[in-house]
Structure 1
Amino acid sequence: MGGAMENSTDPVELSAKTDIEAPPVKLVVTEKDRDPDLVDWDGPDDPENPFNWPSYKKWRQLIFMAINTFLTPLASSMFTPGVADIQKEFGSDSTMMASFLVSIYVLGYVVGPFLIAPLSELYGRIPLYHTCNIFLLIFTIACAVSQNLPQLLVFRLLAGIAGVCPLTIGSGTVADMVYKEKRAGVMAIWAMGPYMGPVVGPVAGGFLVEAEGWRWVFWVLAITIGVILIGSVFCYRESYAPVLLRQKAARLRKETGNPNLRSIFDDGGRLPRQIFFSALSRPIKLLFTSPIVFMMALFAAITYGYLYLMFTTMTSIFEDQYGFSQGLAGLAYLGFGVGCALGLLIVGKSVNKIAAKHSAEGRFAPESRLPPMLYGSWAIPVGLFWYGWSAQEKVHWIMPIIGTAIFGFGLVAVFATVSAYLVDSYVRYAASVTAANVFLRSLFGAVLPLAGPSMYDALGLGWGNSLLAFIALAMCFVPFLFVRYGARIRTHPRFQVELH
């Protein structure tokens, strides 16, 4: 029933066998090792430990999870080209309502993480994945058959609450199975969903709406969600160590007749209700009492808000400024996709390389994740300036699209780095720290688009995007602050967060 590990690092640091594992590292033994009633993994090669799962078992789960994470943000923007048709059908001409139809789905992302993250840390990842996918399927079908705007808005909100599940606990699933030296690259693949999903959505949705109408967007999404749901039932396995060891302890109590056996993550006899409310408070504590979590989440939130603000206005800009048809306007979003793909390639490769080097030198820390963000984040203000002024002056249509590609590169540099940095800072509570991050960025993603039309009417595309760029420019100094002082802030007693 082996020794326990310190919870400040990976739950278990064991020998490597697969392409997403790291070289062996030294075990850290604590006082719990001397207690024979504590149940741990059976040595460094225990096959039940998710870190030791075969490669195929890890990859099938990670790939399905990445698709799941891609699909739910896709649903947030896929029907954007059909918003005008929806308003016409239901008799609305409000520009704010047009933005709200898109952003209310993201508003669901604000609510969902505070329920999903603590439940996953209490009952495990798998029940949450399956339950949320079922509800997402139900509410997506409800959107397809909505008969008025209030119905559509309510079902979109509920779909967003259910759809945020893989965004909330996906990083925790990665941390459950992949060592830190390889984790950032896998996280970058998983994190494709939040920024590639909203990009691909309008491209596919533009032609679908033009050919079949806006309701078919939801029918296509429902069919795809159903396929993912069936596939996940066969491919997902529980990976959260505290839940697995709790199940193992229960099995051993039954087999040995020893009622004193308990997991190394035992909660000291607390009731499930107490554990749940403790877990419920973790994202809030992390967000508002940890300067690292707040500032990093704020940078990601501002960037995410800009993304959705641009999404809700680009269709009308390219239709009005450049005379694009409804289908072609969707293709304007491909600039984001190219920039994000390039960012994924460069950032994903560089963060793993840096982590492996620092680990080999014995100086790996969460701050080892920050270098790509130091340089890549500057692409955000550059892209905003480029996009805004080229669209304002009606320069050739390729120019604003190039601006969105530059912005997309910076978006990945921020998102991938922030996700990896926060997870490495709070490995055991990866779901909770991700919930804090998702909450803040989703709040910005839901609210900022509502101000977009008024801002552009008052300032124009050039100065409106310049205002956004100046704010992003100031935020680009945040990673420099944490490269220099991050470790000191994380370890300072004043900023230690009580999470148990």
Structure 2
Amino acid sequence: MELKKSSSKQEEVEEIRTIEKPIDDSFLITWESPTDPKNPKNWPYARRWVQLVIVSVFALLGPMASSMVAPCLDQIAERFHIENSTEKALVLSIYLLVFAISPMISAPLSEIFGRRILLQAGNVIFIVFNMACGLARTKAQMYIFRFLAGFGSATPMGLGSGTISDLFTPEERGRAVAVMSLAPLLGPTIGPVISGFIAEYTTYKWIFWSTTIFSGFVFALSIPFLTETYPKTLLGRKARKLNKIEKTLKYHTEWRLEHIPQRKLVAPALMRPLKMLTTQPVVILCAGYMAIQYGILYLVLTTYPVLWTHDYNERPSIAGLHYIAPGLGLILGSQASGIFIDKTFRFLKKRNNGKMAPEFRVPVILLGTMFFPTGLFVYGWTAKYHTHWIGPDIGAAMFNVGLMLGWRGIQTYLIDTFIIYAASSTAVACCIRSLAAFGFPLFGQTLYDHLGYGWGNSLLAFIVLGSSIITCSILWFGGKRLRAMSDMVIFKDE
């Protein structure tokens, strides 16, 4: 199919591949031109960012609610008579376990029904069962309600990348990814700051009720302001509308799915992430990299209160304030990565005679490799020798800067590679990283008990360093070959 290109919208044309109607098919429903105002990429700048911010706030809720229980685990354990340390950790980890399941369902379904309905449905599920957590009477009820609340709150984790692919061209994605990805990473640091005061001055139940109130407010905002962005959904609606008006079946999109009942598309869509997980080398590599980093992040964050309350003898409310340090690191890393990714992309594209490649995202991953292990070394050895509290906080801020830089590179790489299936590809990464976030905290305290903060964090730093170097080398030198081995890749090398 012939594509008409323009200098300002070339990437968009490359991605969608059906921007203008070919003259030999007058019934093909697609964008009227590269500047069609109905195309989400051509919406006014402010409107696109409003959509992204709303999705980002949805994505903030789940991780924030997951980590808020950390300072209150002792209260919860006492209330439900939980004495086993593993069962106690499960109150937090079971929420993360479902983060591995929910995006694998919501992301492919959004590629059938659209982004908006999935985001709002997930939020409603979260509101209902998060409130139920505060009303739970047994530990079994607490586990079940946490699991179901996590299922609803994890919906945006798989849809954020897809939304970015819908709204932004490759040259704009760096900053968009930085903002979108900041929310789920900032959540685990904001949550304990709030819940530290809740643990000291009121009951653990307010952890659940406060997040429920906030989530309800966000849902109310989404009703008038959140709109559909997925091209397949928007064009499919137009085709179905014209067919209904003219009582015909001649109008169709490039994908020719509008004549198939949506229920028949569900099974193949749900299999897409599973197929990516088992057959796409690019996805497997990126997911493995993200899993190691996310698992280590949650290992450190869930053991963070122990350092301050037991080793530094601080009250829970004061201990919770130390989460501000990793939060500042995430914000700094987000801003730096947003600027660095886009500028590096433009520079490398210019050097490559105006041709883009997903591998142009690798330099920011390598930059993150410098900060993450260094931060872990600083955090670990300053904590071991009980230096001034600013020492561990500086280390925590540093490794979160590195985490943000590395993640932004990987996420934009997946978006550039899979484009319209970006949601499914990042859902796989979300699945694997969430399994790591579920598993790593279960042995975190044991690691520090045996090796101490110094050597324990040094071991984690060496793991991060090795995995990052391997990932960067494979993507930079062999990324094109990996993409050629992946039959689900949408991006085509010029």
TM-score normalised to structure 2 length: 0.93
| 1:234 and 2:224 matched | yes
Q: CA offsets, 1:183-217, max 9 Å, x none?
A: 12111101011211101111111112212221111
Match of 1:480 in 2: 473
Q: What do the CA deviations read for 1:426-478 (whole angstroms, capped 9, x no partner)? A: 00101100110100000000111111122222222222222222211211211
- What residue in structure 1 maps to residue 47 of structure 2? 57
Give yes or no for contact 1:15–1:45 (8 Å, CA) kept in 2: no
Is the deviation greater in 433-442 or in 376-385?
376-385
Partner residue, 1:414: 406
Provide the rounded CA distance (Å) in 2 between the counterparts of 1:154 and 1:97.
Answer: 13
| Cα shift at 1:268 | 8.6
Q: Which amino acid aligns with 1:295?
A: L
Q: How does 1:31-110 map to 2 (within 5 A)?
A: 33=22, 34-110=24-100
After TM superposition, list the pairs within 5 Å mapping 1:202-213 onto structure 2: 202-213=192-203
Which of 407, 421, 425 is the matching residue for 1:433? 425
Q: What is the alpha-carbon distance in structure 1 between the residues aligned to residue 310 and residue 38 of structure 2?
A: 58
SS in 1 for 2:381: helix
**Is it true that 1:397 corresponds to 2:389 in the alignment?**
yes
1:337-388, Cα deviation, whole Å (9 max, x unpaired)? 1211111121110111122334454121111111111122232222222222
The Cα RMSD (Å) is: 2.3
Change (3 A) 1:497 1:151: same
Query: In structure 2, what is the equivalent of residue 8 of structure 1?
Result: none
Q: Equivalent residue for 1:118?
A: 108
Name the SS for the 1:39 alignment partner. coil
CA contact (8 A) 1:181 1:359 kept: no
Q: What amino acid is the match of 1:193?
A: A
SS of residue paired to 1:427: helix
Match of 1:489 among 464, 482, 490: 482
One-letter amino acid of the counterpart of residue 249, structure 1: A
Deviates more, 1:328-337 or 1:132-141: 328-337
Equivalent AA in structure 2 for residue 167 of structure 1:
M
CA positional deviation for 1:287: 2.1
2:370 is matched with which residue?
378
Asked if the contact 1:38/1:261 (under 8 Å) is kept, the reply is yes
Match of 2:345 in 1: 355
Tell me, in whole angstroms, the C-alpha distance in 2 between the residues paired with 1:31 and 1:405: 47
Give the residue type in structure 2 aligned to 1:451: F
Q: Secondary structure of the residue that 1:259 maps to in structure 2?
A: coil
What secondary structure, in the 3-state scheme, does the structure 1 residue paired with 2:325 have? helix
2:440 counterpart SS class:
helix
User: Which of 332, 343, 347 is 1:342 aligned to?
Assistant: 332
Contact 2:21 2:29 in 1 (8 A): no
Q: What number of residue pairs does the alignment pair up?
A: 485
Is residue 305 of structure 2 the alignment partner of residue 312 of structure 1? no
8 A contact 1:133–1:162 mirrored in 2? yes
Residue 240 and residue 15 in structure 1: after superposition, are their counterparts in 2 closer, same or farther (change >3 A)?
farther
Match of 1:177 among 162, 167, 173: 167
Q: Is the 8 A contact 1:90 1:148 kept in 2?
A: yes
Q: Which whole-Å CA distance do the structure 2 matches of 1:316 and 1:486 have between them?
A: 41
**CA shift at 1:77, angstroms?**
0.6
The equivalent position to 1:144 in structure 2, one of 125, 134, 141, is 134
Amino acid at match of 1:495: S
Alignment of 1:192-341 (within 5 A): 192-267=182-257, 270-341=260-331
In the alignment, structure 2 segments of 5+ residues that lack a partner are none
How many angstroms apart in 1 are the aligned matches of 2:19 and 2:425?
Answer: 25
The answer on whether the counterparts of 1:96 and 1:453 sit within 8 Å (CA) in structure 2 is no
Matched position secondary structure for 2:355: coil
Higher mean displacement: 256-265 or 28-37? 28-37
Quote how far apart the aligned CAs of 1:75 are: 0.8
Q: Secondary structure at the match of 2:249?
A: coil
| Residues 276 and 428, structure 2, Cα contact 8 Å, conserved in 1 | yes
| Distance apart, 1:314 and its partner CA | 1.1
Runs (4+) of structure 1 exceeding 4 A deviation are 12-16, 21-32, 268-271
Contact 1:4 1:30 in 2 (8 A): no
CA gap 1:29/1:457 in 2 versus in 1, 3 angstroms: closer
Corresponding residue for 1:9? none
Is the contact made by 2:174 and 2:338 (CA closer than 8 Å) also made in structure 1?
Answer: yes
Give the TM-score normalised by structure 1.
0.92
Answer whether contact 2:162 2:422 (CA < 8 A) is retained: yes
Query: Which amino acid in structure 1 is aligned with residue 411 of structure 2?
Result: S
Q: 1:398 to 1:93 in 2, by over 3 A?
A: farther
Look up the SS of the partner of 1:91 in the other structure: coil
- Contact (CA 8 Å) 1:99, 1:450: kept in 2 or not? yes
